[in-house]
Structures are given as structure tokens and as C-alpha cells.
């Protein structure tokens, strides 16, 4: 009886009321936490998708801007290339015009070829006349030829023609070939020279014509290359 009475007097903590309230609070908190977790999960998934969408839009915009930048760069490069090409063409035309404006003269290799072709014993003392039309540039070239042929031992006379040729004569001609062998030594060299002494409207003459005479005409008119 004594033991039974002692067990009946034992008090438990917390009380049933407190335990009940704590259980209800804990259960409510658990439910709230589950709800908050579910909401958080939804928000994480949702906002994650939104973030990826914005990232894709940003990447697409960046790619579009990069593509536009590449297109602008390509246009700029094309314009620069066209400008460079136009500059090169203009430079080439200017060089071509400068070469035409420069006075004609035999290049060193052409002069050496002419000297070698005429510096022969059989030509020593042969007479030859080099006449230019009434033009300072043509006379300058005639004088250069005279210097070369004199150095080869020929008897050279250089002068300017007193009567203008009508129509104007361009290039050069060898109308009098009293010495066919001398003509054959000189004329091919002049025709193949880099200055282009092509015969124009004056006949070369024929074998047996009196004397040897070279006529230097005007510089051909400038014709731009297309």
C-alpha cells in the first residue's frame, strides 16, 4: 500500500497542458516550415528559370551586338581595302604619268648594246646625221645618241630640223640608209630600246639612199591605261 501511494504522488513535467500546447506549437511550426520550404522550392525553381531566361537573352543580345560589330568591321575593312586599291591605282597612274613626263633617254643597258653594235672597225669614221624635229626633248635624245655613236668612232652630226614635219612625227625613223650594214647595226637596237622608238609616219628609206640619217620625232602623246 505504501509503495502504491508513493507512485500516485509522483508528479510529471511538463504538465499535460504544457505538453499539449508545446505539441500544437511544434506541429504548427513544422507545418509552417514545410509550407515555407515548399514555397522556397517553388521560388528557387521559378527564379532559377527566370535567371536562365535573362541570361539567355543577355547572351543573345551580346551575340547580336558582336555580330553587328563584326559586320561593321567587315564593312570598314572593305572600305579600307577599296580605298587602298584606289590609292594604289592612283599611285600607279601618277608613276605612269611621271614616266611619260620625264624626257626620253636610252637606259644604260640600251646604250651599252648600241655602243657594242657600232664600235666595230668597219664603222670607224662612217658619217651619220642625227636630226630632231623642232622640239627640245627630241633634240636632247638626239644629242645622247650622238654622244654614244661618237664614242664608237663614227663621224656624227647632230642638229634640229628647220622645217616642221606635218603631220607631226612621233617616235623615230631611219629614212636614209646609205650604209645598209650600219643601219642593220643601229636600227634594231633603237627599236628594242625601253623608250620605245617606234617608227611612225616617216619611211625608213631604202638601201642606196644618200647618207645615213636618223630622225628623232616627238614623244608620243600620253594615253592613260584603262
Q: Which of 75, 116, 113, 100 is nearest to 223 (CA)?
A: 100
* Residue 117 banded pLDDT, cuts 50, 70, 90: very high
Q: What is the average pLDDT value for the chain, to the nearest integer?
A: 81
Cell 661618237 belongs to residue: 150
Kindly tell me if the per-residue pLDDT of 2 is higher than 60: no
Q: Residue 223: pLDDT band by 50, 70, 90 thresholds?
A: confident
Q: Which residue has the higher pLDDT, 76 or 226?
A: 76
- Asked whether the beta carbons of 158 and 102 are under 8 A apart, the reply is no
Q: pLDDT tens-digit profile of 133-164?
A: 888 999 999 999 999 999 999 999 999 876 56
Q: Distances from the Cα of 145 to the Cαs of 10, 104, 131, 162, 190, in angstroms?
A: 147, 11, 10, 19, 10
pLDDT of 8: 53
Please count the helices (runs of H) and the strands (runs of E) in the chain: 5, 4
pLDDT per position as a tens digit, 58-88: 888 888 888 888 888 888 888 888 888 888 8
The angle at the Cα of 144, spanning 142 to 149, to the nearest 5 degrees, equals: 95
| pLDDT (average), residues 218-223 | 80
Q: What is the pLDDT of residue 64?
A: 86
CA distances from 200 to 37, 42, 169, 196, 216 (A): 105, 98, 6, 11, 11
Q: Are 156 and 146 in contact (CB under 8 A)?
A: yes
pLDDT of residue 197: 66
pLDDT higher than threshold 90 for residue 165: no
Cell numbers representing residue 171 in the block: 617616235
Average pLDDT score over residue span 46-62: 87
Instruction: Identify the pLDDT of residue 118.
Output: 92
State percent of the chain over pLDDT 90.
17
Within a 10 A sphere around the Cβ of 153, how many other Cβ atoms?
15
pLDDT tens profile 190-219: 888 777 666 544 444 433 345 788 888 888
Is 142:216 a contact under the CB 8 Å cutoff? yes
Cβ–Cβ under 8 Å, residues 94 and 122: no
- Residue 10: pLDDT band by 50, 70, 90 thresholds? low
Can you give the pLDDT at residue 148? 94
What's residue 207's pLDDT? 39
Query: Does 51 score more than 60 pLDDT?
Result: yes
Task: Give the rounded distance of the alpha carbon of 92 from its chain centre.
Answer: 11
* pLDDT at 110 > cutoff 60: yes
Amino acid at each position: 500500500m505504501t509503495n502504491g501511494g508513493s507512485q500516485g504522488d509522483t508528479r510529471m513535467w511538463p504538465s499535460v497542458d504544457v505538453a499539449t500546447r508545446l505539441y500544437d506549437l511544434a506541429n504548427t511550426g513544422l507545418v509552417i516550415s514545410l509550407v515555407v520550404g515548399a514555397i522556397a522550392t517553388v521560388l528557387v525553381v521559378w527564379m532559377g528559370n527566370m535567371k536562365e531566361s535573362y541570361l539567355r537573352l543577355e547572351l543573345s543580345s551580346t551575340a547580336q551586338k558582336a555580330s553587328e560589330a563584326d559586320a561593321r568591321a567587315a564593312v570598314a575593312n572593305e572600305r579600307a581595302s577599296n580605298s587602298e586599291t584606289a590609292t594604289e591605282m592612283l599611285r600607279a597612274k601618277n608613276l605612269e604619268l611621271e614616266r611619260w613626263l620625264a624626257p626620253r633617254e636610252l637606259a644604260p643597258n640600251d646604250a651599252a648594246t648600241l655602243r657594242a653594235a657600232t664600235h666595230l672597225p668597219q664603222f670607224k669614221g662612217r658619217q651619220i646625221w642625227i636630226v630632231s624635229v623642232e622640239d627640245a626633248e627630241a633634240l636632247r635624245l638626239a644629242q645622247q645618241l650622238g654622244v654614244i655613236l661618237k664614242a664608237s668612232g663614227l663621224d656624227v652630226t647632230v642638229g634640229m630640223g628647220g622645217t616642221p614635219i606635218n603631220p607631226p612625227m612621233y617616235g623615230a625613223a631611219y629614212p636614209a640608209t646609205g650604209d645598209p650594214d650600219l643601219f642593220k647595226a643601229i636600227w634594231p637596237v633603237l627599236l628594242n630600246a625601253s623608250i620605245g622608238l617606234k617608227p611612225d609616219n616617216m619611211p625608213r628609206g631604202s638601201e642606196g639612199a644618200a647618207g645615213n640619217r636618223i630622225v628623232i620625232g616627238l614623244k608620243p602623246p600620253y594615253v592613260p591605261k584603262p
